[in-house]
Amino acid sequence: MSDKLKYTEAGKFEETRFEKIHNVVFENSDVASIEVAKEIAELIRSKQAANEHCVLGLATGSSPIKVYEELVRMHEEEGLSFKNVISFNLDEYYPMTKENTQSYWYFMHEHLFNHVDILPENINIPSGEVKQDEIHQFCIDYELKIKEAGGLDFQLLGIGRTGHIGFNEPGSHYNSGTRNITLDHITRVDAGPAFLGIDHVPRVAITMGIGTIRKAKRIVLLAWGVNKASVIRETIEGEITAEVPATYLQRHDNVTFVLDEGASTELTRERTPWLVKNCIWTDDLTLKAVVWLSQKLEKSILKLTDKDYNFHGMSNLLVEQGSAYQLNINMFNRLQHTITGWPGGKPNADDTNRPERNTPARKRVIIFSPHPDDDVISMGGTFDRLVEQGHEVHVAYQTSGNIAVSDEEALKFAEVALELNGSDTNSKKIVADLDAKQEYEIDTKEVRNLKGLIRRKESVAATRYVGIPDSQVHFLDLPFYETGRVKKNKLSEQDVTIMKDIISEIKPHQIYAAGDLADPHGTHKVCLDSLFLALEDLKKESYMDDCWVWLYRGAWHEWDIHDIEMAVPMSPDQVLKKKQAIFYHQSQKDGVMFQGDDSREFWVRAEDRNKETAKKYNSLGLADYAAFEAFKRYHY
């Protein structure tokens, strides 16, 4: 076992006393995956040395991708052989052909089997192709085959937001074996983007059972990103329950959960460390604790008492600070100073306690928007203020967003173009391409181009409405995005160069970007990485000395109150204006392709979220605003 995945030494027990499953938190999913790959490679090699087979239980999904990538690298560069490996995959959709790019058969070959020397006869994946009346026997045989191979030496798992492992959805029994199962709605929602819409996601799957999985000699479960944080907390700290099938793993004596920082954020020791140990009270931790206490007791900050602190694990903080009175005032002021109606700085005003500098009075600003609409959805009010207050605001749309336009929408535009000009061969081809398109098929270049154009024109309509000239609107079309599929390419030098070029051309004083960390493989995160890499390269340039970077959160989440460093209030009128700007993105209204599990339209989500932030500030005892947009500064 890799040293880093070993059980923690005694002495840390205090910190983990709420936890019922051993877990290790890494700084990010890449380094974590490399450790897991090391453990698997060690096992394969030790079995080789003993002349034995190594029986691996394997998972699919986004979580294990980097582990497989590292195993492939070890095979290619370090001679790791898979000749003694027998593999059993957890699950497969049903019905599902092997050739379908969404099948787990396809996934495993694409990510692992095609690149290593595993013997094809040693690969076992539940079949999505067996006849309905043969499934029962197929499942019995699958179980038998695992047994005959000597049982699973190692089982790799991911976890669904329902708490499923394999496809053992809520309700699964502790002793369940391999069987067919109906997928939970949330699981289908999460698979929706890969299938280009939930309607195409199969309703049934074949999965190894809980009983099958828990017989594995060693189990490692991977979870990345804040999206998984709450199910990870329930699984590690909650009671064993069929509602969250992963909790059954609490009964296994050789299991490790490997997490990144995002997935660990809801664990008690991370979320409220003062409840489990003596803390070193930095300013940030103090604010986090005070906000938490105020919210928990439903009391404004200035009303918190010595007793409140003492009863909630913060007695040493109180000793350090002298009294609740002083501590409350300090934290209240800190929050108060995040609020500003001048996101570009207030000219000629003392800026000691303001989030932004007052000079230069007129700033050059770049708003990076991962998709063509995140700018107005996430910071439409701030965008409007920056323009109104005279700054030179540029918007740079990082990707074309073309896969989020439906075929029906594209057909509408192609038909209009054809009516206007009957001899337009391009539109004719687009109409014919859409007509002939099969399910799961990638759009032709021409169709993708039209879909991208639709989003461009919607964006320009919105930016004109906010009031910037078209010359300040930039479409970067980063190449990593242009696969025509949900699965994107890796970020390349070319993407980073495009980002660097626009920054060096504009020489901004302020950059705004989507700081979404929820989905480590999602487009927003890749777009953020492209910015971070560009900044790393550019920071030696003198014009960057004066450039501040502010991160907003995308359509799905908001910063926690203690993270916010600039809160821009919006008047009721501005809330309406922002809504109008979002409306210009018509192809993303009413039943969009990538809805997620939130049925509200984007403008409703944005409005609710901005109102919610204002409400939270107010209940902490600060002024009562209609809505807030929130930002956190990034230091590079």
Q: Is 63 in the site for ligand F6R (CB under 6 A)?
A: yes
Q: Count H helices, E strands: the chain?
A: 21, 17
Of 16, 62, 122, 286, which one interacts with ligand F6R (CB under 6 A)? 62
169 catalytically annotated: yes
3-state secondary structure of 472: helix
Q: In whole angstroms, how close is the CB of 55 to ligand F6R at the nearest point?
A: 17
Cα angle, residue 99 at apex, residues 93 and 103 outer, rounded to 5°: 25
Site for ligand F6R, residues 288 to 307, rule: CB under 6 A: none
- Segment near ligand F6R (CB under 6 A), from 15-23, 24-32, 80-88, 155-163? 155-163
382 contact partners, CB below 8 Å, separation of at least 6: 343, 512, 552, 568, 629, 631
- Segment near ligand F6R (CB under 6 A), from 15-23, 163-171, 495-503, 532-540? 163-171
Separation between Cα atoms, residue 584 and residue 373, nearest integer Å:
9
Helices (H), 250-393: 261-264, 268-271, 283-297, 306-310, 315-321, 324-336, 374-388
Q: Is 163 in the site for ligand F6R (CB under 6 A)?
A: no
Of the pair 190, 443, the CB lying nearest ligand F6R is at: 190
Of 126, 128, 158, 401, which one interacts with ligand F6R (CB under 6 A)? 158
Of the pair 59, 454, the CB lying nearest ligand F6R is at: 59
CB-count exposure of residue 32 (10 Å: 0-12, 13-18, 19+):
buried
Of the pair 214, 509, the CB lying nearest ligand F6R is at: 214
Q: Is 91 in the site for ligand F6R (CB under 6 A)?
A: yes
Q: Is 127 in the site for ligand F6R (CB under 6 A)?
A: no
Of the pair 63, 378, the CB lying nearest ligand F6R is at: 63
* Overall residue count recorded for the chain in this entry: 636
Q: Is 59 in the site for ligand F6R (CB under 6 A)?
A: yes
Q: First-to-last CA distance in the chain?
A: 36
410: phi then psi, degrees, rounded to nearest 5: -65, -40
Q: Is the peptide bond before 360 cis (omega within 30 degrees of 0)?
A: yes
Single-letter amino acid code for the residue at 66: K
Q: Is 155 in the site for ligand F6R (CB under 6 A)?
A: no
Of 37, 74, 90, 290, which one interacts with ligand F6R (CB under 6 A)? 90
Query: CA Rg, the chain, in Å?
Result: 27
Whether the CB-CB separation of 521 and 598 falls below 8 Å is answered with: no
Q: In whole angstroms, how close is the CB of 488 to ligand F6R at the nearest point?
A: 15
Of the pair 158, 355, the CB lying nearest ligand F6R is at: 158
Q: In whole angstroms, how close is the CB of 90 to ligand F6R at the nearest point?
A: 4
Of the pair 160, 370, the CB lying nearest ligand F6R is at: 160
Separation between Cα atoms, residue 250 and residue 229, nearest integer Å:
17
- Segment near ligand F6R (CB under 6 A), from 54-62, 374-382, 395-403, 499-507? 54-62
Out of 169, 392, 558, 629, pick the active-site residue. 169
Whether the CB-CB separation of 302 and 328 falls below 8 Å is answered with: yes
Of 16, 60, 172, 587, which one interacts with ligand F6R (CB under 6 A)? 60
Dihedral of CA atoms 32, 33, 35, 38 in degrees, nearest 10, equals: 180
Q: Is 535 in the site for ligand F6R (CB under 6 A)?
A: no
Here's the x/- map for ligand F6R, 164-183, by CB under 6 A: it reads as xxxx----------------
What are the residue numbers of the active site?
A: 169
Binding site for ligand F6R (CB under 6 A): 59-63, 90-91, 158-160, 164-167
